[in-house]
């Protein structure tokens, strides 16, 4: 059984090494909130393929999300579309140009409701609702 254990352990190491290559996508913040009540990972928003088309209903996915300060307050956007986009909330944050495959993260530091658009395609809209811990 020892050899089977070694094989399993080796597979795990190789698997972790493979994950390390894309670890920047999978990084999760440690849980600091009440256990079992909220997701502990960072929040991901995809700019889905075809977002450039105004007729396509889905662009920022998920469109509306809620995060909690100090818990999961970092949001990462990934542009999976073949066209460039932005994540822009005037006066609050702006990714500037995101080409295909680019990612951009923003950590929220105050509560509020932040609406944002793509500055190139203003029909693309999303909302991040930021809540204080314990509310």
Q: Which residues bind Cu ion (CB under 5 A)?
A: 85, 118, 120-121
Q: Which one, 72 or 86, has the nearer CB to Cu ion?
A: 86
Residues contacting 133, CB < 8 A, separation 6+: 33, 68, 69, 70, 71
**Between residues 67 and 85, which has the closer beta carbon with respect to Cu ion?**
85
Measured from each CB, the residue nearest to Cu ion is 118
Q: How far is the CB of 97 from Cu ion (least distance, A)?
A: 10
Which helix (H) or strand (E) element contains residue 127? strand 125-131
Residue 111: which of 61, 83, 69, 48 has the closest Cα? 69
Nearer Cβ to Cu ion (54/132): 54
Residue 42's φ and ψ, nearest 5 degrees, are: -60, 165
Contact 126, 45 (CB under 8 A): yes
Between 67 and 118, name the residue whose CB sits nearer to Cu ion: 118
CB of 79 to Cu ion, least distance (A): 9
Cβ 99 to Cu ion shortest distance, Å: 11
Taking the complex as a whole, the smallest distance from the CB of residue 90 to Cu ion amounts, in Å, to: 15
């Amino acid at each position: 059984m020892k050899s089977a254990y070694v094989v399993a352990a080796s597979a795990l190491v190789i698997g972790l090494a493979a994950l390390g290559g894309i670890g920047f996508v999978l990084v999760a913040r440690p849980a600091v909130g009440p256990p079992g009540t909220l997701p502990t990972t960072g929040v991901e928003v995809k700019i889905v393929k075809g977002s450039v088309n105004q007729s396509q209903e889905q662009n920022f996915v998920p469109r509306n999300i809620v995060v909690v300060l100090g818990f999961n307050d970092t949001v990462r956007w990934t542009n999976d579309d073949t066209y460039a986009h932005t994540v822009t909330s005037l006066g609050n944050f702006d990714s500037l140009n995101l080409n295909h495959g680019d990612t951009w993260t923003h950590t929220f530091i105050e509560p509020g409701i932040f609406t944002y658009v793509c500055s190139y395609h203003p029909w693309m809209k999303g909302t991040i609702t930021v809540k204080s811990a314990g509310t």
